[in-house]
Structure 1
Amino acid sequence: MSQHKVNPKLKAALEFGPILGFFVAYLWLKSETFTIGGTEYDGFIVVTAGFIPIFLLAMGILWRLSGYLSRMQAVTAVLIVVFGGLSVWFNDPSFFKMKPTIIYLLFGGALGIGLMRGESWLQYVMDGMMPLTHEGWMILTRRMALFSLGLAVLNEIIWRNMSEETWVYFKTFGLTAAIFVFFLMQSKLFRDHGRKPEDGDDA
Structure 2
Amino acid sequence: MSDEANDGKDKGMRKLYTTLLEIGPLLLFFVANGKWDIFVGTAVFMVATAIAVPCYRWLEGRWPVMPLVGGFFILVFGGLTIWLQDETFIKLKPTIVNCLFGVILGGGLLFGRPLLKPIFGAAFTLTNEGWSRLTLRWAAFFFVLAAVNEVVWRGFSTDTW
Q: Shorter-chain TM-score category?
A: 0.7 to 0.9
Q: Which residue of 2 aligns with 1:154?
A: 148
Amino acid at match of 1:131: T
Specify every segment of 5 or more residues in structure 1 that has no aligned partner in the other structure, as ranges: 30-42, 168-203
Matched, 1:119 2:126: no
Letter in 1 for 2:17: L
* Corresponding residue number in structure 2 for 1:48: 42
Q: Which runs of 4+ in 1 moved over 3 A?
A: none
Choose between structure 1 and 2 for higher RCO, CA contacts under 8 A separated by at least 6 residues: 1
Aligned to 1:64: 58
Q: Which amino acid aligns with 1:138?
A: S
1:142 is the counterpart of 2:142: no
State the AA in 1 paired with 2:24: G
Please report how far the alpha carbon of residue 61 of structure 1 lies from its aligned counterpart in structure 2 after TM superposition.
Answer: 1.0
In the alignment, which of 25, 32, 40 is matched to residue 25 of structure 1? 32
Task: Give a deviation string over 1:133-153, Cα, whole Å, max 9, x none.
Answer: 111001111111112111111
For residue 109 of structure 1, the aligned residue among 82, 95, 103 is 103
Code of the residue aligned with 1:58 in structure 2: it is: A
| Percent of aligned pairs with the same amino acid | 40
Name the counterpart of 1:38.
Answer: none
In proportion to residue count, which structure has more helix? Answer: 2
CA RMSD of aligned residues (A): 1.6
Matched AA of 2:113: E
TM-score calculated relative to the size of structure 1: 0.70
Which residue is equivalent to 1:128?
A: 122
Which ranges of structure 2 fall in alignment gaps of 5 or more residues? 1-9
Aligned pairs for 1:65-80 (under 5 A) are 65-80=59-74
- Which residue identity is paired with 1:75? V
* Alignment correspondent of 1:9: 16
Letter in 2 for 1:133: T
Select the structure of larger CA radius of gyration. 1
Q: What is the TM-score of this pair, normalised by structure 2?
A: 0.87
Amino acid at match of 2:20: A
Name the structure 1 match of 2:5. none
Aligned residues: 151
